[in-house]
A and B are shown apart, each in its own frame.
Chain A
C-alpha cells in the first residue's frame, strides 16, 4: 500500500472548505429564490411601459416614478388604501375587544370547547361561510358595505388574536394576579391593570399579525365587496382584468401594498413563529 501523502489535518481542511462552499452556494441560491420576485417587483415598478415589457429584460435603466404617479392619479388608489385601512383597523379593533377577554378566560379556565370553536375559523376554508353570508348580505343590503366586509374580516382576525393571546396570558405568573386580588383589586381590574400591560408585546404582535391577515385577505371582498369597498388586493387584481395588462402600474401597486406590511412584519419577527401557529408552538 502506498504511503498517504495527505495528512489528516490537511484532509480535514479540504473537507471544511468544500462544506463551506456547499453551504454558501445553498444559502445564496435560496436567498435568490426567495428575494428575486420581490426585487423584480420593485425594479419593474420603476420602469416605463416600454422598458417593463422589453426583451431581453432590462437590468439597468433610467428609473421613472410615472407608474406611482399614475397609480394615484388615474385610479382612486388613496380611497382603496383608506378602505383597506378602515376594514383592517375596525376588524382588528373588534377582534381585540372581544378576543382579549376570551383569550384570558381560556388561559385561566381551560375552556377547550371555546378554543376549538375559534380554531374552526382558522381551519375551515373561507368559502364554508361565504354562501350564507352572500344570501344574508343580499337580503340585508350589506353587500358592498364596509360593515359587511369588516364582519367577515373578524372571522379572519379573531382566531389569531385569541390563540396568540391565550398563549401569552398562560405565561404570566399567577402570583402577580393573586397579589393584586388580595390587595383588593377586582378580577376585571386585575385583568385591565396587571395582565394587559404585562402582555403588551403579545398584544402588539397579535395586532400586527391580524392586521396583515386582514390586509392580505382577498376572497371575502371578491364576493361580498363592490365598488365602494375595493381593498388593495382587489385593486391590484383589477390591473389584469383589462385587455392589456398594465405591468408597470401593477408592479407599482403591488409594491405599495407589500412594502408597508413587510416593514410591519419586521417589528414582530420575534413573535412570528408562535403567532402564526396560534400557540401550537412557542416561537
Chain B
C-alpha cells in the first residue's frame, strides 16, 4: 500500500498508455498481461494434460481390454480384469504386504525421525555437522545405496552378519529369508526416509511457541510429561503432514524392493507396486496389468485424500 501511495501516479510520465499499444511487441506484451492468469500456467497445463491426465485415462481404458503383447490378444472385455484382480490371491497377498510394509515403514521412520529431531533441536557442539550427516541418506541415489545394502546383507560375507556374530547373535539371512524380507527392506526404507521425517519435525519443533514449555518447567513437569502433554499435541498439524507424505511414499516404494529382491524370495516381498509392474512389464499383459495399476493408484489416491482431509482438520 505504501508504495502505491508514494508512487508518482500524478507525475509527468505514467508509462505506456494502456489502451493504445504502439508497436507489435507492445501489443503482444499487453495481450500477455491481460491474459496472464491463463497464459502463464498454459505450458504446465498442457504438459500435465499430455503426460499425466491422458495416460491416466488411457490406463483406465486399457484395463477394460484384453491387451497382451506376448499373446497378441486384443478385445474389449469390460470389467473382467477387475473380477480377476479381486479373485487373485496373489493380489490380496501383495495388498497385505503393502499395508504391512507401509505401517512398519511409516512408524519406524517417524519414531526415528522424532528422536533425531529432538536431538538436533538441542544445542551441542557439532549440531550442524550432525544435521548434515543425518540428511545424506535422503538424497543418495536409492538404486545405488540399496545395492550397497545388498552387499552388506550377504549371508556369508556381509558385514552385517559379521556384526551380529561379533555381539554373539546368530547370523541372519536378511532379504533372502521370505519372512524377514519385508522388515529388512523396511529398515533400508527407514534409513532413506527417517531423515525426511526428521527435517519436517525439526522445522515443526522450531516453530512451537515457548510459553507453554516455560510454564510447564516452572510447574516442575518431567521431560516425558512435557513431551507427551505439550510437544506432541502442539506438533499435531506437523505430524499429520509427515504421516501424509510418509504414507504416500511408503505405498509407492519400488526401487528398493525391485533392486534388492524383485519381490522375492518366492513372492515374499511382492507389494502392489511390484505385482503391478510384473503383470504389465514382465508378463507384458498390459490389460490385466492396467487393472492392477488402477486399483493400486486408487488405493494411493484414497490414502492421500484421507490424509489431506485430516491435514485440513488439523490446521483448522
Interface residues of A (CB under 8 A from B): 23, 26-27, 30-31, 33-35, 37-38, 40-41, 44, 53-57, 94, 97-99, 101-102, 104-106, 108-109, 111, 114, 117-118, 120-121, 123-136, 151-152, 154-155, 158, 162, 175-176, 178-179, 182-189, 212, 215-216, 218-219, 222-223, 232-234, 236-237, 239-240, 245, 247, 250-251, 253-254, 257-258, 261-262, 264-266, 269, 272-274, 276-277, 280-283
Contacts and interface: CB of A to CB of B under 8 A. Distances in A.
Nearest to B39: A101
Contacts of A185: 15
Contacts, number: 298
B259 A35 contact: no
B137 A34 contact: yes
Given A237-B143, A240-B147, A272 B135 contact: yes
A184 B14 contact: yes
A233 B144 contact: yes
B196 A129 contact: no
B144 A219 contact: no
Contacts of A117: 45, 48, 52-53
B178 interface: no
Nearest to A188: B32
Contacts of B228: none
Interface residues of B, number: 101
Nearest to B289: A131
Interface in B247-290: 248, 251-252, 254-255, 258-259, 273, 276-277, 280-281, 286, 289-290
Interface string B21-46: 00000000110110011011101110
A233 B143 CA distance: 6
B55 interface: yes
- Please classify the interface of chain B as helix (H, G, I), strand (E, B), loop, or mixed, using the class held by over half of its residues: helix
B141 A273 contact: no
Interface string B1-32: 11110011100011110000000000001101
B290 A277 contact: no
A272 B199 contact: yes
B33 A154 contact: no
B15 A184 contact: yes
B264 to A, nearest CB: 14
18 contacts: A34-B191, A56-B162, A99-B44, A102-B41, A102-B43, A127-B277, A131-B280, A133-B55, A135-B62, A175-B1, A176-B3, A218-B255, A219-B254, A233-B141, A233-B142, A253-B144, A273-B199, A281-B204
A37 B52 contact: no
B103 interface: no
Nearest to A173: B3
Interface string B52-80: 11111011001000000000000000000
B49 to A, nearest CB: 8
Which applies to chain A's interface (DSSP): helix, strand, loop or mixed?
helix
Contact of A280 (B32, B159, B202, B241): B241
A204 B196 CA distance: 20
Interface stretch (B82-90, B208-216, B292-300): B292-300
A262 B139 contact: yes
B180 interface: no
Most buried by A among B41, B136, B142: B41
Contacts of B152: 37, 40
B226 interface: no
B4 A128 contact: no
B164 interface: no
Contacts of A101: 39-41, 43-44
B238 interface: yes
B203 A175 contact: no
Given A56-B162, A254-B148, 19 more contacts: A23-B119, A27-B119, A30-B119, A38-B148, A40-B151, A40-B159, A41-B148, A102-B43, A132-B62, A154-B51, A175-B2, A179-B3, A184-B13, A219-B254, A247-B151, A261-B141, A269-B131, A276-B196, A283-B199
A177 to B, nearest CB: 9
A226 B88 CA distance: 32
Contacts of B245: 277, 280
A184 B16 contact: yes
Contacts of A276: 138, 196, 199
Nearest to A56: B162
A245 B157 CA distance: 13
A60 B280 CA distance: 47
B162 A254 contact: no
Nearest to B292: A127
A101 B33 CA distance: 12
A47 B73 CA distance: 52
B51 A38 contact: no
A252 B173 CA distance: 25
A28 to B, nearest CB: 10
A277 B142 CA distance: 18
A106 B139 contact: no
A262 B139 CA distance: 6
Contacts of B150: 240
Contact of A283 (B139, B157, B203): B203
A41 B48 CA distance: 38
Given A102-B41, A175-B3, A223-B281, A188 B147 contact: no
